[in-house]
Amino acid sequence: MANGAVLLSLLAFAMRCEAIVNGQAFNATPAKLLACPGAVEVTECMTSSQYDAVVAAVRGKLESLPSTCTASDCPQADWAGCVLRMAGHDFMDFANGQGGSDACTDMEDPENAGLPACLASGEHGSSLQEVYQQFCTQVSLADFLVIAAEAVIASTRARAAGTASLDLRSIFRFGRRTASSCDFAVGRLPDPERGCTAVEETFVTRMGLTWTQAAALMGVHTLGRAQVQNSGYHGWWSDPENSRKFNNNYYVSLLAKGWLPELAINGNSAKNQWERSDIGRDTSVAGHEMMLNTDLCLAFSEGGGNGGPVRAHEHNCCAWLSARTIDGAVRNNGNEYCGGNVIRGRGDRDQCCGRQATRNDCGDKDRPTGPAAAAVLDFAADEAAWLRSFADAWQIATENGHSQLHRLGDCGSTTETAASSVSSISSTPETTSSLPTETVTSTEWASPDSSLSSNASSVSGFLWSFACLVSSIFLRF
Ligand code: HEM
């Protein structure tokens, strides 16, 4: 069964490569799914009130869905999660000035499974299609997808009732060009199995984020869930109610709960994740809580064994931390520690990992050493610190690849932006954490300089093209 799955994946990869080697463009991009006669490629002018009109229309769609939220049915979390994930998948293909938020990605790529629903076919009966039709002759799809994501963030942030504010409107700039083809993007979406290697490659090396900003961006997983029929993974990053609120609960969940490897999800050995292991876990299928390798690795690395940031299929360990190490996270978790009362000392490990669990810990329970451990601790304790870093990361991520962007209302002049010039577009200092900003455990986690990173990208691009060529020859025989 597992071999069959691997063979099928190879065949799918080879067929997609065949199409690209033969110069065929993707059959389904967001622009093809959201057809609009007279759609503009670039937004010529956008005022604050036009931005607000798009936001209000998208929020209206989201907020008109039933507000019920149970473990098996939470329509607003699903819809908001899908729209935000769409924007993320759009910008995560950025490398060497190409890609970014250009509304171009292969919607038939298995990594994008589930996304056509909120885009066009209908998630809980609702999609962005009707909203886009109202604006498509003035607003490029590339800008529209970013604003739609900002709208669901604003709506779910309002629901979170947190005191810290997040104002993405004040830093928004329009002028992204919708791309009609983006074949270069094949294979660029990060594979969760690769853990922090994929996080580093996508966010740090290609997109130009710091580890702190990469960790801040991953906080989007506070919304929505993973479903087997989409990604092969299964579960919520936290409890369902929190999964429709844009809050720092992702970090709280990551630290204030215990996690054990969960291998071969739904019998698929290529899909491995971490499941909640503490006494507070929901044992029902619907209420299953999980973390991907790419989430947990931010904070946890294992000193022994294979070393490095954790991966479920390689590190048979329990990811948990002592209560004193995570007092800020526990405070923001209603003083709940691993599903129960705070225990300092004897019995804490059993409460977090269960009695039967391997005695192996994912690193030191008093000193997490994942590449963004300090940031995760900081964000779990201080929501405002997360939102500041998130705004910086969001602006970089959504502006990468676009050289001529304008502030709302600035319809006459041009503001030049170096495509990957990170520092020029940061609106606030990189982090205000009182903790060390990065925990670098080995040279592997050091941010490479730009020449190294672009060399790395060209080498991986070459290797990818070579693999593509070989697999397309394989397909012919
Ligand atoms: C290393 C980077 C990332 C990896 C490996 C990753 C992986 C995943 C996976 C496997 C899912 C489950 C999808 C499903 O089963 O429906 C998911 C969901 C989600 N992702 Fe990511 N993701 C990453 C980065 C991002 C970014 C940058 C964004 C947006 C800015 C994002 C937003 C979301 C959202 C909101 C969901 C929930 C979707 C829903 O409920 O339908 N992710 N992600």
Find the mean pLDDT for residues 184-198: 94
Cα of 221 to ligand 1 centre, how many Å?
A: 6
Q: Which pLDDT band, with edges at 50, 70 and 90, does 121 fall under?
A: confident
Q: Which atom of ligand 1 is nearest to the CA of 229?
A: 15
Find the mean pLDDT for residues 169-189: 95
Q: What is the 3-state secondary structure (H, E, C) of 454-477?
A: HHHHHHHHHHHHHHHHHHHHHHHC
Cα of 72 to ligand 1 centre, how many Å?
A: 19
Residues contacting ligand 1 via CB (< 6 Å): 78, 81-82, 84-85, 87-88, 92, 114, 190, 192, 198-199, 202, 217, 220-221, 223-227, 230-231, 233, 292, 294
Q: Which pLDDT band, with edges at 50, 70 and 90, does 25 fall under?
A: low
Query: What pLDDT shows up at residue 440?
Result: 26
For residue 447, is pLDDT > 60? no
For residue 419, is pLDDT > 50? no
How is residue 146 annotated by DSSP? H
Query: What pLDDT shows up at residue 302?
Result: 84
Find the mean pLDDT for residues 14-18: 46
Could you tell which of 85, 266, 311 is best to mutate to test the pocket of ligand 1, judged by most ligand atoms within 8 Å of the CB? 85
Cα of 362 to ligand 1 centre, how many Å?
A: 24
Residues 118 and 86: beta-carbon distance below 8 Å: yes
More confident residue, 191 or 15: 191
Find the mean pLDDT for residues 54-79: 93
Q: Which pLDDT band, with edges at 50, 70 and 90, does 291 fall under?
A: very high
Q: Which pLDDT band, with edges at 50, 70 and 90, does 72 fall under?
A: confident
Chain-centre distance of CA 336, in angstroms? 26
Q: Which atom of ligand 1 is nearest to the CA of 77?
A: 40
Query: Percent of the chain at pLDDT above 70?
Result: 80
Query: What pLDDT shows up at residue 41?
Result: 97
Find the mean pLDDT for residues 69-94: 94
Residues 168 and 150: beta-carbon distance below 8 Å: yes
Query: What pLDDT shows up at residue 26?
Result: 74
Chain-centre distance of CA 104, in angstroms? 17
